[in-house]
Amino acid sequence: MALAITKKSGIYEINGALDPQNMSSIKNYFELLIEQSTYIKMSLNKIIDLDINGVQFIASLYRKAVAKNKVFFIVGLNNKEVVQLFKKEEITTY
- Given this structure, which CATH class describes domain 3-88? alpha beta
Residue 44 to residues 28, 54, 68, 75, 90, Cα–Cα distance (Å): 18, 11, 22, 6, 18
Predicted pLDDT at 50: 81
pLDDT band at 18 (very low <50, low <70, confident <90, very high): confident
- Give the distance from CA 61 to its chain's centroid: 7
pTM for the structure as a whole:
0.81
Statement: residue 86 has pLDDT above 80: no
- Nearest to 5, CA basis, from 79, 51, 70, 61: 61
pLDDT in tens, 21-75: 888 889 999 999 999 999 999 998 888 888 888 888 988 999 999 999 999 998 8
